[in-house]
Structure 1
């Protein structure tokens, strides 16, 4: 008797794979349809009242654009960054969903016969049902915002969930379509957060800002303003006219181009209650030690090409500074002293960091920040010779080295701003290049958003930092100016040493 041959183990596995997968897919499709019918057929006045309006509000992302507009108008930097990230994430998600995901598998829309008439949409969508574009955009915006500001993202996450529910309740999508859309939007947001890390606060306890008793200068009496005509784009005259109208009793000293700025400032400090300057970071760096030596508060009117110090104090215009003077809004901020002499207000660097910053800034108008940073890094390393320094007995070879006065955000080698200027810490960031394939490894870490974990990158938060030159004296640039050469350099924080006027800091 001939016995029927038994299928081999490989053939049985193949048969199970095809049959089992088909059965699982059919079962999930049946479950998806049953959940849809349950929601669609539910007689709920709340669903009838809310769902149609909510789903129409989310058409073409109008709901998210309106929320982003409100956040952008709040004048809060965190909210503005969150709004921009949310909108950018929605834009990328829309392309991925409509141009890629909806072309993968054709799935017809659900039948709407079971959906109450008052809950149905005004028109029936004709595009592929899988995935839900509304749900993808909702998740993208909520998570994009949440990357920058978690509490707001959590609230928006609830709203995004309701938008997804509205697509089922109005008969536009199956639940599986909504879940797929949520997954796409969330994935794009997470990838975006890795490529462009958010500005986050360091997990370091910092005391509350100080409050200082300020001189009463309601019309500017006792304020001496030093204006540097060499700063900025040549609109110093317009700013001085504004200062005269805001502080009519202030004394204004306009420097001649051949005058010695520190000498004029020291002479002005002898008759001032408040020393004020119109200029950029270089001018402010000249005025800070004069104000410290004279025991005077400093006021900064942003009139330079770069106004990083003023910006980090929350000063955007002459009116901001004038209002702080009138309100007596005075706080104390840190300064950093190089070898107990030179005052550093923003940053100090060695190697080619200034070239790196200029290149990256120029490229950011054309490329995303991570790619601009990577290209600037490559250009800098190709064109400059590395510097060898000794830190705590260890020799480091670096082309890019930065020390910040107070902690900068975000982490990584593209810091942009400080949230506080009075934390008592130096922000030290070093890229090492004296290793094999260092440039390729650093660029890969930058593009993947994992620079902080690279063994070639060091980031320290310390109150004091020292290094010594190994081969030759090292030039230290600071606050946008090329400085002197040093064999030994020590940076120390003078904690809350400088009283300065800042809007919103009054008692």
Structure 2
């Protein structure tokens, strides 16, 4: 099935169609102009003044780092350096009559970066398209999820009023089997009003049959709904997917044969997720689990990803697309995009209880390694390993191979999603911009 998902999933390859190449060429011309302008204006001296400008920017960056990473005198010195370095360079340029060309060159470089990012921006119509309403939508409702959230919002009645067929999940029922039977009975949309674990199981069936999927956030956390921009406090809004809305393609993650829409956790992370108290008191449960990071029973994991092999890890989080900032178990953060075709990897490696405690208080304090890869292999030196799959703990055979299925899932969402993450946009990947400007295809990994 994984190969099928990889073949069927469309992947963005250039941005805004024919306009992308034009923006890429403009970006390269602006870049060339910004570099050549000092040379044309000042001749060979321009090289020296260009190096002086680069040195000033480097000193300013060092000052900013000191100001952010230190306290006391070092912070004061960093603040002063970050302000003094660029002003000193501008004063030197003014003295030799190069202030105008320098400012013009800087402006051209800024415009070059903006044009490059615009060239690499995905076409919004390719990932967010209006659709017609499904004829036979089917929605699985878990009344126990979210403390009875489905009943509080009368979701069963509202789904039926929107033309959907409802199945209320009973104790011990096989969620995936119910979804497969719904497709066999003619359902042209599968929806779930429940938590992330139930969402993932039905999403896997929807992806396998290439049927649209609707997320109705009726669970406790609903991180998948959060990153889709849905209003978790009002699941009724998500019912627009049954009558229209828009459709987008997102990735799915797999740990062995188990699907996840958010993340798979290993080692101490998995121990925390499996604790019954975790759902009610996340931060306190994490603190109570800290001895597991450094005690005699601390796990020792090995991960292979992105051409790197890391040993001696106590905890590991593999996410369906990278999180936008350093994360920990109690505050998983957000993902700006769900369609990068990559897994996010957060590794924890600490040597003492103090370092372990600092991860909860200050996630940036050290001990964390972040990676991004389309495939991740996790080993634990045992025949099986406990893994937290979207908050549910399962045992998987070692080694556990995690992979991304790019664009595998068609998701129907409301047209207006107030919680939609604001993307910072792509970085100026100049080799990619050059290939785009020359009309050469991008390599697909």
* Cα shift readout 1:368-423 (whole Å, capped 9, x = no counterpart): x8xx7984563553678322233348562333211111121322435322222112
Q: 1:330 aligns with which of 239, 242, 247?
A: 247
CA shift in 2, pair 1:425/1:266, >3 Å: same
Gaps of 5+ in 2: 1-75, 80-116, 418-445
Greater Cα shift, 327-336 or 317-326? 317-326
Q: In the alignment, does 2:202 pair up with 1:296?
A: no
Task: Name the residue aligned to 1:482.
Answer: 393
Shift of 1:505: 7.0
CA shift in 2, pair 1:245/1:495, >3 Å: closer
**CA RMSD, Structure 1 to Structure 2 (Å):** 3.6
- Secondary structure at the counterpart of residue 292 of structure 1: helix
Asked whether the equivalents of residues 246 and 322 of structure 1 are also in contact (C-alpha less than 8 Å), the reply is: no
- Measure the CA separation in 2 of the matches of 1:212 and 1:489: 33
TM-score of the superposed pair, with normalisation by structure 2? 0.57
Task: Name the residue aligned to 1:44.
Answer: none
- Measure the CA separation in 1 of the matches of 2:335 and 2:238: 18
CA shift in 2, pair 1:388/1:473, >3 Å: farther
- Measure the CA separation in 1 of the matches of 2:384 and 2:396: 5
Q: Which has the higher contact order (CA 8 A, sep 6+)?
A: 2
Q: 1:277 aligns with which of 192, 214, 226?
A: 192
Shift of 1:355: 5.0
Q: In the alignment, does 2:407 pair up with 1:496?
A: yes
CA shift in 2, pair 1:363/1:208, >3 Å: farther
Q: In the alignment, does 2:306 pair up with 1:401?
A: no
Shift of 1:356: 4.3
- Secondary structure at the counterpart of residue 224 of structure 2: helix
Q: In the alignment, does 2:304 pair up with 1:389?
A: no
Q: In the alignment, does 2:254 pair up with 1:342?
A: no
- Measure the CA separation in 1 of the matches of 2:187 and 2:131: 11
CA shift in 2, pair 1:485/1:241, >3 Å: closer
Asked whether the equivalents of residues 215 and 273 of structure 1 are also in contact (C-alpha less than 8 Å), the reply is: no
- Measure the CA separation in 2 of the matches of 1:401 and 1:253: 36
TM-score of the superposed pair, with normalisation by structure 1? 0.50
- Secondary structure at the counterpart of residue 484 of structure 1: strand
Gaps of 5+ in 1: 1-182, 187-202
CA shift in 2, pair 1:274/1:415, >3 Å: same
CA shift in 2, pair 1:383/1:280, >3 Å: farther
Shift of 1:324: 4.0
Runs of 4+ in structure 1 off by over 6 angstroms are 357-364
Shift of 1:250: 1.6
- Measure the CA separation in 1 of the matches of 2:163 and 2:327: 46
Task: Name the residue aligned to 1:307.
Answer: 222
- Measure the CA separation in 2 of the matches of 1:286 and 1:261: 7
Asked whether the equivalents of residues 155 and 236 of structure 2 are also in contact (C-alpha less than 8 Å), the reply is: no
- Measure the CA separation in 1 of the matches of 2:157 and 2:248: 21
Asked whether the equivalents of residues 242 and 318 of structure 1 are also in contact (C-alpha less than 8 Å), the reply is: no
- Measure the CA separation in 2 of the matches of 1:232 and 1:446: 26
Bigger strand fraction: 2
Greater Cα shift, 292-301 or 414-423? 414-423
- Measure the CA separation in 2 of the matches of 1:353 and 1:342: 17
CA shift in 2, pair 1:445/1:277, >3 Å: closer
- Measure the CA separation in 2 of the matches of 1:258 and 1:449: 39
Shift of 1:281: 0.6
- Measure the CA separation in 2 of the matches of 1:399 and 1:294: 38
Asked whether the equivalents of residues 136 and 189 of structure 2 are also in contact (C-alpha less than 8 Å), the reply is: yes
Shift of 1:263: 1.7
Shift of 1:305: 2.2
Shift of 1:268: 0.9
- Measure the CA separation in 1 of the matches of 2:159 and 2:235: 11
Q: 1:90-109 alignment to 2 at 5 Å? A: none
Q: In the alignment, does 2:122 pair up with 1:211?
A: no
Task: Name the residue aligned to 2:166.
Answer: 252
Shift of 1:279: 0.8
Asked whether the equivalents of residues 163 and 242 of structure 2 are also in contact (C-alpha less than 8 Å), the reply is: no
Shift of 1:459: 0.8
- Measure the CA separation in 1 of the matches of 2:241 and 2:337: 17
